[in-house]
Amino acid sequence: MAHPRASTQSQRFAQFKLVLLGESAVGKSSLVLRFVKDQFDDYRESTIGAAFLTQTIALDETTTIKFEIWDTAGQERYKSLAPMYYRNANCAVVVYDITQASSLDKAKAWVKELQRQANENIVIALAGNKLDLASPSASSPTSKRAVDTAEAEAYAREAGLLFFETSAKTAENVKELFTAIAKKLPLDQQGPRGARAGGGAGGRGVDLKGGSAAVQPGCNC
């Protein structure tokens, strides 16, 4: 944290594009809100189109990571817009709701699509959200869990994904999720390495090029 920026080469700043995908109401926006503002709404309106947010985290003493986050809408009608958000993404969080088995199927479909269509080095994390609902509570004496941790974890391992069960409501594992992603992103080399935004995709893929993902030495902007 807060380090003298004078510290030359060892000070690293990197910017990455992250996209959230998953069925409607699994808690994508809630996860982002928790991550970015450390807040939670019991009632959230469904995302319309997509929302764009940024969050900067300090990975370690010398490394600052800025996420540019696309929180996409899970509603069916926006399906065809998804490529424009994931095409340049360096990382993706595919979210399902542990209380809805069908949402994992949907998540798997997203993973498949990402592995086929997105940047080939994309880092994908699978997040089973609403973990708080797994433990019995006053309102629900039995667990509402519908997806076994082991099952989802096995799938994630097989597909080469990071895996977390999270709760946007209690904040459990939210920071951990994003930090794990950040750690897995390639930081070691400088230059436009993380910047697959400009390269690779080409054609229409460069469209949402705005902030390019670039590792910039010594820049703290």
Ligand X SMILES: Nc1nc2c(ncn2[C@@H]2O[C@H](COP(=O)(O)OP(=O)(O)OP(=O)(O)O)[C@@H](O)[C@H]2O)c(=O)[nH]1
How many chain residues are in contact with ligand X, going by CB under 6 A? 24
Question: 214 vs 103, 158, 167, CA distance in Å?
Answer: 33, 30, 30
130 contributes a contact to ligand X by CB under 6 A: yes
Which residues in the 56-115 window bind ligand X by CB under 6 A? Answer: 73-75
42 contributes a contact to ligand X by CB under 6 A: yes
Piece of the chain touching other proteins by CB under 8 A; list 14-22, 42-50, 153-161, 174-182: 42-50
17 contributes a contact to ligand X by CB under 6 A: no
Strands 12-22 and 215-217: antiparallel
153 contributes a contact to ligand X by CB under 6 A: no
Report, in Å, the least distance between residue 145 CB and other proteins: 25
Instruction: Compute, in degrees rounded to 10, the torsion defined by CA atoms 51, 52, 55, 59.
Output: 100
45 contributes a contact to other proteins by CB under 8 A: yes
Residues forming a β-bridge with 129: 97
Which residues in the 108-147 window bind other proteins by CB under 8 A? Answer: none
For residue 37, with 0-12 CB atoms within 10 Å meaning exposed, 13-18 middle and 19 or more buried, which class applies?
exposed
> Residues in the site for Mg ion, rule: CB under 5 A?
28-29, 47
Give whichever of 107 and 187 is closer to ligand X, judged by the CB atom: 107
Piece of the chain touching ligand X by CB under 6 A; list 11-19, 62-70, 130-138, 184-192: 130-138
Question: 104 vs 109, 129, 130, CA distance in Å?
Answer: 9, 11, 13
Interface pick for ligand X out of 18, 26, 187, 208 (rule CB under 6 A): 26
- In terms of Cα–Cα distance, which of 181, 175, 185 is closest to 31? 175
Interface pick for other proteins out of 5, 10, 38, 46 (rule CB under 8 A): 46
DSSP states of 74-129: -SGGGGGGHHHHHTT-SEEEEEEETT-HHHHHHHHHHHHHHHHHS-TT-EEEEEEE
53 contributes a contact to other proteins by CB under 8 A: yes
- In terms of Cα–Cα distance, which of 92, 86, 71 is closest to 24? 71
CB 190 within 8 A of CB 217: yes
Find all residues with CB under 8 Å of 111, minimum gap 6, and list them. Answer: 94, 124, 126, 159, 161
49 contributes a contact to other proteins by CB under 8 A: yes
Report, in Å, the least distance between residue 42 CB and other proteins: 13
Interacting residues toward ligand X by CB under 6 A: 22, 24-30, 41-44, 46-47, 73-75, 129-130, 132-133, 167-169
Interacting residues toward other proteins by CB under 8 A: 24, 45-53, 73, 75-78, 80-81, 84, 204, 207-211
